[in-house]
A and B are shown apart, each in its own frame.
Chain A
């Protein structure tokens, strides 16, 4: 009947036996890092075969971009293997453990530290300029002080709202926290059942909440690598976030499946989501709906902040053709290629210079993201983050349900994070 966990166990166990590196029992003291990369990338065109793994839509569309690269580098062939997102982590873990790896790989920004922990990724050569990218995006490549990849595309969270309801209520797009509360109340007065929808439970609740914590001036970790979750900013942000549910401005328990339909029906005034939601809304409600909703940055408090996600391109430590691989990465993250890729996939460029191109700058639905991205931030690149995030999800849910005061929640967050640790040696 319910066999999945055992299958996972069995699969992992057999992976282990395949990967038997007989080094004897007990942990060795020296870390197994091999610092061979980070020299540079040779000049001249790339040669040989470059194996690339990409996930989901990117995996399907990347061959189109690879053709351009092959045209510029006649001696090189790019083989793209699409990998489904759901099975990507296991597949990559197995590949790294056995050494049967591609040359280049797409890595979700939050997954970097896990693969670096396995010593699977090569350090980024100095030839790639960190300043070309949004700082939040570059940060996702850096694990324990070293960069192991290059930002490829980004996404960020913004506020979607019904322009017709806002007009009827006479409210302007919110700039501050107080504005947002008033804004949600206004949309509700104009006929929406709920002024705003914020995630209340389940996976990624913390990702929706954390921008508010950052806006209040909070930091997840300090420069010394210690967790700093128990502070006034946390209490303030939790208080603010849960106030929407408590005051009846947001559903006390959000059912994700209903969100888009309620928004289209005018029963929901606004919600926080990423760039993909636009396509969702237009497929559900038809292209005419584009005139009925607007997109604005999240409000700011002490500072401006949103969450930055997306994917990086990484070269594997055991890549067979590392030089050509880095050339491909360099090509894919070139400002002009990034604009082409936006045309192919609608993925937002990670390179700041690409945003000056009219294809992005003149599109109002896209241009709003530029400012958001300059201050958007990611969660810490530590191997244990997924576990800590899961704990935060559960604690935030309890605050919203009223089972936990923001003060106690902040303490619990700090305790949970410190007991799990960073996973970095």
Chain B
């Protein structure tokens, strides 16, 4: 009796402590998630805002419509292109920078760390202004520099071929600092003696990198890959501020298309698109876990 009464009291107390979080979570996470799922299966439009229950269920029609829409297909292709190039590029550069910072330049380490991390915390609006100047076709820094060596640079942001690579470089520049800082911390966690032992066994720096650094850094790399992948699949800010998805839809991304459809009031369709993107994120993360998991 006494035991069960005490247990009940402990249970109530525990729920009491958990209540603030549970309420916040329910109101700000569960309800929006449930509403958007509901929207994805109905024909809800902007004008139904006043009576959100007075809509029809349409099953998977929204999903079918999204997948059959050539604009969505183009956006999906663009997003895959972006993730496929930008994610490995970001991780490779971040790893390279982290290794360089870890192995030498000890005095300047914090200077470089701040330098490479600054773009991560800088507002996209400020970044966009600067990058637009850099990529300006006639008097921008990039084309002026190319002009010095006799190359006639393209119109970066308005050229169908070059717009996406321009955004890839910009996104990489913006995000490389984050992974670099995480990887640097991971590198500092690798014991010195492992390197010493491998040096005695005759391993040079390249061999050490592939046989010691990379395997021991796997969990950190996995973390960076997952976080970067999730962020990159939701590629939105760069095309939004730089190209408006153009030219000719070459930088339109899935997230941008969702944003547009929301703006047009096609709530059902855009909610369905959001869930398609969500599934893509789950799949990508799963593949990364499979690929980079620590071997037992």
Contact = CB atoms under 8 A, between A and B. Distances in A.
B32 interface: yes
Contacts of A93: 46, 49
Contact of B236 (A4, A15, A25, A257): A4
A104 to B, nearest CB: 20
A393 to B, nearest CB: 9
A203 B243 CA distance: 11
Contacts of B113: none
Interface centre among A5, A114, A119 (most CB of B within 10 A): A5
A203 B244 CA distance: 8
Contact of A387 (B39, B137, B256, B264): B264
B31 interface: yes
Contacts of A14: 27-28, 31-32, 35
B31 A13 contact: yes
Interface string B260-275: 1011111100110010
Contacts of A15: 49
B247 A5 contact: no
A82 interface: no
Contacts of A13: 31-33, 35-36, 39
B46 A383 contact: yes
Contacts of A117: 46-47
Interface residues of B, number: 57
A58 B47 CA distance: 27
Nearest to A398: B248
A386 B36 CA distance: 23
A10 B47 CA distance: 18
Contacts of B56: 25-27
A178 interface: no
A403 B232 CA distance: 30
Interface string B231-265: 11011110010001011110000011011101111
B45 interface: yes
Contact of A28 (B36, B54, B235): B54
Interface in A399-413: 401, 403
Interface stretch (A16-24, A73-81, A134-142, A269-277): A16-24
Interface string B154-174: 010011100000000000000
Contacts of A258: 136, 138
A182 B135 CA distance: 33
A97 B260 contact: no
Q: A interface, how many residues as a size bin?
A: 35 or more
Given A13-B35, A423-B47, A255 B137 contact: yes
Contacts of B143: none
B50 A119 contact: yes
B35 A16 contact: yes
Contacts of A4: 236-237, 240, 255, 259
A203 B158 CA distance: 14
A398 B71 CA distance: 14
A327 interface: no
Contacts of B255: 2, 4-5
Given A19-B49, A398-B248, A5 B57 contact: no
B237 A383 contact: no
Contacts of B230: 1
Given A5-B234, A16-B35, A386-B263, A403 B248 contact: yes
A88 interface: no
Interface centre among A2, A24, A202, A255 (most CB of B within 10 A): A2
A2 B231 contact: yes
B53 interface: yes
A2 B138 CA distance: 30
B54 to A, nearest CB: 5
Interface string B41-69: 00001110111111111000000000000
Contacts of B248: 201, 394, 397-398, 401, 403
Contacts of B109: none
A384 interface: yes
A253 B158 contact: yes
B264 A5 contact: no
A118 interface: yes
A285 B259 CA distance: 37
Contacts of A403: 248
Nearest to A94: B49
Given A4-B236, A257-B132, A397-B248, A118 B50 contact: yes
A8 B264 contact: no
A23 B155 contact: no
Contacts of A390: 260, 264
A201 B54 contact: no
B69 to A, nearest CB: 10
A26 B235 CA distance: 35
A9 to B, nearest CB: 5
16 contacts: A2-B234, A2-B255, A4-B236, A6-B234, A8-B262, A9-B274, A17-B35, A25-B56, A26-B55, A117-B46, A253-B159, A255-B136, A258-B138, A383-B45, A386-B264, A423-B47
Interface of B: 27-28, 31-33, 35-36, 39, 45-47, 49-57, 71, 132, 136-138, 155, 158-160, 175, 230-232, 234-237, 240, 244, 246-249, 255-256, 258-260, 262-267, 270-271, 274
